[in-house]
Amino acid sequence: MGDFRTDTSYITVVSNPVTCTVLHVSEDRTTKSLGAYYATCSSTQLESLKSMSMDIWGPYIQGTRIWVPGAAQKIAFDRFHVAKYIGNGVDEVRKIENRELRKQGMDTLTGTKYVWLTNRKHMSAWHKKQLQQLKKSTLKTSWAWAIKEFSQTLWHYKSRTWALKGWKIRFASRRRSTVSHLGAQGLEAMVILGHAMPACSHEKSGQDH
């Protein structure tokens, strides 16, 4: 399920990816918009739903939690959308910390946005060397980057339980020093990861949610 923008507004579209059929279309992208679809389903149908892949959008999450039993274990997100949110969180940490450092006359983080957000496979040798030096530091940005990198491994877990354990261990070691600096998008990304865990089990089928 997801939203599409027309010239002046949004519409909500619910489809079945297995049969490639559209099940429902409604105006706007609110909890009510999605609820209109769930209202057409019987309680048996709602209980039988195994996974709902959706856009990262609060009203969709809320609507699904209201209507679908056990929704918290069934909601799945696109891994690239999650990565984008976490990347935004890392960049927010960098901006805040860079301002603090510049007040002290230090330009350590100036011009490093590319280094923190780019996939290492696409980096030049010079940028890789720069990253190697920066990630060994005690910078909060370095810690936020480590969280981002670890989050990408969660999609390879076959067990949701072990994925959660790994995440909690990693997150707990960083939370006091970094989380308070993540800002709105960064914190939202952490919440999203909690919802994204069910997607790990779907990696076995080769599907991205």
Give me the number of domains the chain comprises: 2
The verdict on 109 and 144 lying in the same domain is yes
Among the residues of the chain, which ranges form H helices? 31-38, 43-48, 58-67, 79-103, 113-117, 125-135, 140-151, 160-178, 183-196
Q: What are 35-54's pLDDT values in tens digits?
A: 999 999 999 999 999 989 88
The verdict on 19 and 60 lying in the same domain is yes
Is 176's pLDDT higher than 60? Answer: no
Q: Rounded CA gap, 152 and 148, in Å?
A: 7
Instruction: Quote the pLDDT of residue 13.
Output: 93
The verdict on 51 and 151 lying in the same domain is no
Task: Indicate the SS3 state at residue 80.
Answer: helix
The verdict on 94 and 126 lying in the same domain is yes
The verdict on 117 and 188 lying in the same domain is yes
Domain range for 120 is 79-205
Task: Report the half-sphere exposure of 83 (CA within 13 A, side-chain side).
Answer: 15
The verdict on 60 and 103 lying in the same domain is no
The verdict on 119 and 43 lying in the same domain is no
Q: What are 2-40's pLDDT values in tens digits?
A: 666 666 688 999 999 889 999 999 999 999 999 999 999
Q: Rounded CA gap, 127 and 72, in Å?
A: 40
